[in-house]
Amino acid sequence: MEISKKPKGGESVYIKSLSLKNYRCYEKIDMEFNSEYTVLVGVNGAGKSTILDALATALGSYIAGFDGIASNGIARDDAHRKMYELGSRVDSEEQYPVEISAKCLIDEQEILWKRSLHSNDGRTHIRDAKKIMDYGMLLQDKVRAGDKGAILPLIAYYGTGRLYMQKRQKRKTDDETRFTRTTGYVDCLDSASNDKLMMRWFKQMTEIQIQEGVKIPELEVVKHAMGKCFSGAENTEDIAQFEYKMKTQEIEITYQKNGKKEKLPMRMLSDGLKITISMVADIAYRMAVLNPQLLDHILDETPGIVLIDEVDMHLHPEWQKRIMADLHYIFPKVQFIVTTHSPSVLANVTREHILLLEDGEIYMPQQATYGRDVSTILQQMMKVEVRPKKVLKIISDFYKFLSAEEYDRAKELLNELENILGSEDADVVQARVSYDLEQI
C-alpha cells in the first residue's frame, strides 16, 4: 500500500489493532481498539502495562523515521518464558521469535507493520516496519522543506512514574535550546516524566510574547488546555488562567471560586491535579511544537495517539468519573489508550470503550458499564467484593439460619448486621424484609 505523498491537515490517526507473540506474559494475544479511546482493566499482573509498553515499541517505528529521535526496540527481557520440569528442577526457557504487530489507520489508509526479535543476542528486526517508517520519513522530508501542510501526529506515553521519575537531560542553557517541529517527539515514548524541556519552551515563548507585546497563539492554546483541565476538576466559575512567571520561573494559576479570586503556583496543587494538568500541558505543548502553523486550531486539528498508565492515579473520585470525557473534549482528535483500577472511570464510559484482561484473554465486557453503580462494577467486572469478609459471612449465615427456621439465631445476626452497617443499608433492609416475611 502506498502512503499518500501529501499529508492532509488534521487527518485522523489511530491504532486499530495489536497482536503480540511471545511478549512478556503473553504467548499470543490479539486485540482491537476503539478509535476514540480504550480503557484497559484487569487485576494487577494481568498485563495492562505490558500492552502499553508493546504499543510504545510499535509506535517507535514511526518516530524512528525522524532525525535524531531515539526509539526503543524489543529487549531480551521482553521474551516470554516457558517453564519445563526437568528432574528435580524447573527449567525456564525464553521463547522466540518475539513479535509485536500493529495496524494503524491514517486518514482511512491502513498500515500494518511488525517488529520482532529472533534471539537473545539479536537486534530488533525492522524490515517488516518499513511502511510506518516510510511515513515518518515522508513527514520528516516535508518538515525539512518547510511544508506548512504537513501535520505531525502527536505520539506520547505517560507511565506511572510521571510524577516522581524525572528524565535526566544533559546540561543546556535556555539560549542553547533550539526548538524545531520534531522536538515534539523528544522522549515522547519514555514513560518517565520530562517537563524540563516543556518549561524551557514556556520560558522562551513567554519572553517572545513580552518582547513583541502580542499574544502568541501557540502559547495561549497550551495555557487554555491547562485552564480547561483545572476548571473541570475544581468546578471553578470560569476557565482558570495559567501564566509562566519569569521572576520565579514557574507556572502560576489564577481562578475564581465561590466568588473569591485565588492565585497559587502550580507546585502547590495536590498530586492528582499536578499529575494530570502537567500531562495535559505536555500533550498540548507537544502539539504546539509539532504543528505551530495551526495556531488557534492546534488542539482541535492535531491528531495523535496517547498512552496513559493508571489514568486515575491520585485523582479525587469525582474527577475519576469525568477524566476520559475531559481528555476527549480537550483533545478531540487524539486516540487515548489507558489503564485503570478505578470503578468510577469504568462506570462513566460505555462498554465499547473497555477491554477486560482476564486469564490471558482480552475481551469487551458483555454487560453495560455506563451508569452502573460502583459496587456492581467492582463485583462483576473487577471481581472484588465490596464488603469485608466478616460482613459477607454474617449475611451468609443469616440466610442459612433463616432457611433452617432457626429464627432466634437469625435475629441475632440481623441485629449484628444492623449495628455494623446501619438500618438504611440495602442488604440490611432486604434481610429485615426476608425475616419479617418468615414470621407471617
> For residue range 81-102, what is the model confidence (pLDDT) as tens digits?
999 998 889 999 999 999 999 9
SS3 content of the chain, % helix, strand, coil (to 5): 40, 25, 35
Give residue limits of the domains in the chain: 13-192+295-381, 389-439
| pLDDT tens per residue across span 139-169 | 999 999 999 999 999 999 999 876 555 555 5
Q: Which three cell numbers stand for residue 394?
A: 454474617
Grid cell locating 150: 504537513
Superfamily of chain region 13-192+295-381: P-loop containing nucleotide triphosphate hydrolases (3.40.50.300)
How many CB atoms are closer than 10 A to CB 77?
9
Q: What is the pLDDT of residue 10?
A: 54
Residue written as cell 505551530? 292
Nearest residue to 236 (alpha-carbon basis) of 252, 258, 220:
258
Residue 380 is predicted with a pLDDT of 80
Place of cell 492565585: 263
Backbone angles phi, psi at 178, to 5 degrees: -110, 115
Cβ 61 vs Cβ 132: under 8 Å: yes
pLDDT of 7 reads 39
- Please report the pLDDT score of residue 132 as a whole number: 96
363 DSSP β-pair partners = 356
- Residues in the chain with pLDDT values less than 50: 1-9, 171, 173-174
In angstroms, how far is CA 426 from the centroid of its own chain? 35
Beta strands in 87-128 (DSSP E): 89-94, 98-106, 109-117
Q: What is the pLDDT of residue 166?
A: 53
Cβ–Cβ < 8 Å for 20, 100? yes
Q: Find, among 76, 74, 75, 94, the residue nearest to 84 by Cα.
A: 94
The structure's pTM equals: 0.88
